[in-house]
Amino acid sequence: MSARALALSAALLAVPAMAQAQEPVEAAMQFAADACIFAETGDIATPFAAMQERARASGLPVVVEDEKTGIYGDLGALHAIVTAGVDSLTCVVKIPAAMIDHVGFEALEAAVNEQFAARHPGFLTTAKDDPSPHIDGRSWVIDTAAKDHIAATLSFATEDGVQFATAAQKTYE
């Protein structure tokens, strides 16, 4: 098993017992920490197709899937949405509060941060500066050698749960 897989497994073991019983939560966290961390946009179609394949493999039910959009899970509960534009990719994963707590958020944050570090050494990251124990978050910003701009946010709120959103946009000179 690779070091990356071991670290992700260790992070997922930190998920609270309530969430561990929810196999879709683990699948959504793995999807977010792997498929939603773009290396580069490339030709858009290739990374987008890979995201769709990973979403299907996660076991989340397919709601909508076409050449530009993928919606998986239940929009009123746990879900993932992926989209492709002419020169952009987006990925959003939402885990409701009933399925995850702050410990789960921290496990996902560690896994996502590790993936960004592995794929984009030297990335910029900031923690949300909020003293409330009910709100937490982190954001990342990356400009790649392939002229992509990648931005991501991970947020936690006691009443809302966890949301991870990332977008990659090609930049032009």
**Mean pLDDT value across residues 55-77:** 94
- Closest of 28, 35, 37, 29 to residue 10, by C-alpha: 29
| Mean pLDDT of the chain, nearest integer | 83
**CB-based contact 154:164 (threshold 8 Å):** yes
How far apart (Å, rounded) are the C-alpha atoms in residues 24 and 150?
Answer: 26
Mean pLDDT of 4-24: 44
Distance, in Å, from the CA atom of 20 to the CA atom of 86, rounded to the nearest integer, reads 38
In whole angstroms, give the CA distance from residue 87 to residue 159. 35
- At residue 73's C-alpha, the angle toward residues 141 and 105, to 5°, is 45
Tokens 């993932």 — which residue?
80
pTM flag (> 0.75) = yes
Helix, strand, coil percentages, rounded to 5, for the chain: 35, 30, 30
Predicted confidence (pLDDT) at residue 22 exceeds the cutoff of 60: no
* H/E segment holding residue 119: helix 102-119
